[in-house]
Structure 1
């Protein structure tokens, strides 16, 4: 699935987060922080789950339909980035399998690997397949940044107040014991990130030429796509539709819980939060995105219980419910050697 944080992050971190140990440590650090916060706020999580159980089913159907549309627009984006034209249905099924891989591996690495294997099966060279995947990631990065800039220009006061005034304190309950546990979790995460940052500084020195080479290749591919209006429309249309559909899902879940937040506010919250969370390579941005969305929604005026329930519903529809069917699709693709 064309998840915003995954595609944005993939465009920035392709060589840097190559090590599996690095990805594992980052994912574990983020997951540990989320578990600690969830434990400290287990009453709010339980209340949010109860609220979600009474949600309006019609709005949830809209959210589920938007999730299905995300696979379709992801298929269109890949069609625009590829120099050949595979069957749409087969490419759509591959995107379903890629969405499962994205929820297992961080930074969109899983989905990129699935799509590269599919392109290789179609007869494309390794370089051509990597170029197509890189172009798709670059388009996702560019459209997300343009959308972020557009939202900031349209609502500068709201955007300026969102980041510095996010109620992170709402995530840390009062009390000496709770504060001590939260502080320990934060120190553990900061320590892990600092250690990894020092490793990245040494490692990225050897990758500077590789990064420049990848970027030049992606720009050449982008120039070639722009010469074909059909491919350009598919690539850019699919890329810009992904964050908009995520916004629709979150908006529909909020509406289902009886909290009519303006759609512009939801768009601002999602675009800003997903751009920030793309810097944390958690699998499917699970953990970092959840915590940040709750905090941003509370800042936007949503009650904390409703904010937790909304993020739970958003995750349930976009990640957890599709997990089993997309895993089955991936297994079938592997057994039939489609990827």
Structure 2
């Protein structure tokens, strides 16, 4: 028999190119499947509650959820001077929402948007500064809305039920320990201190430049206020759909208080921690525990689980098209 001679290949080169980008497109769907299996009991119970709800109010909640992606896109545009491609920006916010529920809170959306900005031509330092400005504006807006509602409805929440006295001490100690460690690292590590001060200068320059453009400043702060307001409106609509005996404004206040309380909990998309905090907040606002639980589960189905698969598909498509 005659031996078949294989063609010579350059050293270290594989016979075929490994489709890395195509493989990455499947990762979001794989993560969605894992998350759905882990939370299958929650999904089943949530869909059960949706079947008994008033559908017009559920449509209002779904509409408010869709508008949150528009608000996020407006805020992202307001954080940079350059004009970003609108359709790609909106699609990126939809995909970032899915990524945010598959990775620890904030990391998924942050990574997707950071990659999007760099692909659009912004240097990494400015893209990071724009991301920090977005997070700062959204946090300030959320806390501001919470403070306004607290002043308008001071008796809406029973704070003793919402924040147990025994939990305040450990929370303050944890926050203090984190600040001490961060300050110590900046003092001891010179390279880290230099990088931190350099990033701070870039971020301040970016914020100053954005606020010299009234249209950008309006987009930044208007979108930042609209985003949590639409989220709270979605919860209030689901509460009306399931006949939760709590005024809509009180439900909105409960939502903002709960999301601020769990902002530092590093769980994927707040899965688990957000549900628990929302139930506690709605009960503190005067709702029965059983109905409050049904409202929260139905709300998370609409805002998290229903958009998760199309969001993951969009994320994979954006990766394949090299948008991110």
> Could you say whether these structures have the same fold, taking a TM-score greater than 0.5 normalized by the shorter chain as the test?
yes
Matches within 5 A, 1:134-145: 134-145=132-143
CA contact (8 A) 2:244 2:295 kept: no
Gapped runs of 5+ residues in structure 2? 1-34, 188-192
CA contact (8 A) 1:105 1:284 kept: yes
Equivalents in 1 of 2:203, 2:196: separation in Å? 11
Q: Deviations over 1:262-313 (max 9, x none)?
A: 1220121011111111021211111111101111111222111111110001
Equivalents in 2 of 1:136, 1:122: separation in Å? 17
Whose RCO is larger (CA < 8 A, sep 6+)? 1
Equivalents in 1 of 2:293, 2:155: separation in Å? 25
The corresponding residue for 2:257 is: 272
Choose 196-205 or 321-330, whichever is displaced more.
196-205
Structure 1 counterpart SS, 2:160:
coil
The corresponding residue for 1:166 is: 162
Equivalents in 2 of 1:140, 1:260: separation in Å? 30
Choose 209-218 or 247-256, whichever is displaced more.
209-218
Equivalents in 1 of 2:253, 2:178: separation in Å? 34
Matches within 5 A, 1:182-193: none
Structure 2 counterpart SS, 1:247:
helix
The corresponding residue for 2:118 is: 120
Equivalents in 2 of 1:49, 1:117: separation in Å? 35
Matches within 5 A, 1:75-86: 75-86=73-84
CA contact (8 A) 1:77 1:235 kept: yes
Match for residue 244 of structure 1 among 229, 236, 246: 229
Structure 1 counterpart SS, 2:161:
coil
CA contact (8 A) 1:138 1:218 kept: no
Offset at residue 108 of structure 1 (A): 0.6
Equivalents in 2 of 1:69, 1:271: separation in Å? 17
Match for residue 318 of structure 1 among 288, 303, 310: 303
TM-score scaled by length of structure 1: 0.73
Q: Which has the higher helix share?
A: 1
Q: Deviations over 1:113-166 (max 9, x none)?
A: 1111111111111111111111111111111122122122222343xx532123
CA contact (8 A) 2:46 2:298 kept: no
CA contact (8 A) 2:46 2:301 kept: no
CA contact (8 A) 1:94 1:330 kept: yes
State the aligned residue count. Answer: 276
Equivalents in 1 of 2:315, 2:43: separation in Å? 32
Equivalents in 2 of 1:123, 1:314: separation in Å? 37
The corresponding residue for 1:297 is: 282
Matches within 5 A, 1:50-89: 50-89=48-87
Equivalents in 2 of 1:195, 1:222: separation in Å? 30
Distance of aligned partners of 1:90 and 1:313 in 2 relative to their CA distance in 1, 3 Å threshold:
same
CA contact (8 A) 1:167 1:296 kept: no
Distance of aligned partners of 1:325 and 1:47 in 2 relative to their CA distance in 1, 3 Å threshold:
closer
Offset at residue 53 of structure 1 (A): 2.0
Equivalents in 2 of 1:135, 1:167: separation in Å? 29
**Which one has a bigger Cα radius of gyration?**
2
Gapped runs of 5+ residues in structure 1? 1-30, 169-185
Distance of aligned partners of 1:207 and 1:284 in 2 relative to their CA distance in 1, 3 Å threshold:
farther
Distance of aligned partners of 1:45 and 1:125 in 2 relative to their CA distance in 1, 3 Å threshold:
closer
Q: Does 1:205 align with 2:201?
A: no
CA contact (8 A) 2:75 2:221 kept: yes
Offset at residue 204 of structure 1 (A): 5.5
TM-score scaled by length of structure 2: 0.76
Match for residue 217 of structure 2 among 214, 229, 232: 232
